[in-house]
Amino acid sequence: MKIIKRDIYLNKLIQRKDNGMIKVITGIRRCGKSFLLFELYYKYLIGQGVKRANIIRIPLDDDEYEELLDKKKLREYINKKISGTGKYYIFLDEIQLVDEFEKVLNGLNRRQNLDIYVTGSNSKFLSTDVLTEFRGRGDEVRVRPFTFSEYLKGYDGTIEDAWNEYFTYGGMPVTLSLKTDETKIRVFEKAFSRNLSERYCGSL
């Protein structure tokens, strides 16, 4: 799969760098939030001379980090990682999995040497309510699935075929790497049914 840079969203993060606020990256599942933060923005920071050790990336939906779903352990883990000098950049993916994550983030955000970025995709993050939890310190970047022009850049085929797939499956980035209609439909249905159920029926 070709890398689609998504410069519009990348520039929004760049503009918000070191602004003293918690950058909250929202959007439906599989729309590219994690890739934007963990790959595109990460590479940007490295290119700007930020040391790898000063960028702390934690995918909270990964089993390897399961114990960090406890807010106290998450705080302790981050505190150990920022024991050195200089500016640290904290990336937390799927932060909504941590109970009372707002308290952890508000506490960390008081430290002058931290720049914090989080992603979330459940019903709470799809509303503006989450920003109030950060006491005016939240700065939202809403990410959407690919536009057709973005989708076309990653599609290997004719414009007509690309449009038919885009019209059928939407602009979910992952569908560009899938080979069969069955798997594409499964991704589409799972992403939207999960978001709708959480939005209107509560978290499952």
Residue 71 has, within 13 A of its CA and on its CB side, a CA count of 12
- Render pLDDT for 101-127 as a digit per residue (tens, 0 to 9): 888 998 999 898 999 999 987 666 655
Alpha helices in the chain (DSSP H): 7-16, 33-35, 42-47, 71-81, 101-108, 123-126, 129-132, 148-154, 159-169, 181-201
pLDDT of 169: 80
The domain spans of the chain are 7-142, 148-201
Q: What is the spatial distance between Cα 88 and Cα 3, in angstroms, rounded to a whole number?
A: 26
Averaged in consecutive runs of 10 residues, what is the pLDDT profile of the chain (204 residues)?
A: 85 96 87 92 97 95 94 94 88 91 89 92 61 73 91 91 87 81 72 52 45
Predicted pLDDT at 204: 41
Question: Which CATH entry fits the domain spanning 7-142: 3.40.50.300, 3.80.10.10, 3.40.50.10680, 1.10.3720.10?
Answer: 3.40.50.300
Per-residue model confidence (pLDDT) at position 201 = 47
Q: What are phi and psi of 93, to 5 degrees?
A: -95, 130
pLDDT at residue 23, as a whole number: 94
Per-residue pLDDT at 200: 45
pLDDT of residue 15: 97
Per-residue pLDDT, 76: 94
Q: What's the sign of the alpha-carbon dihedral 198, 200, 202, 204?
A: negative
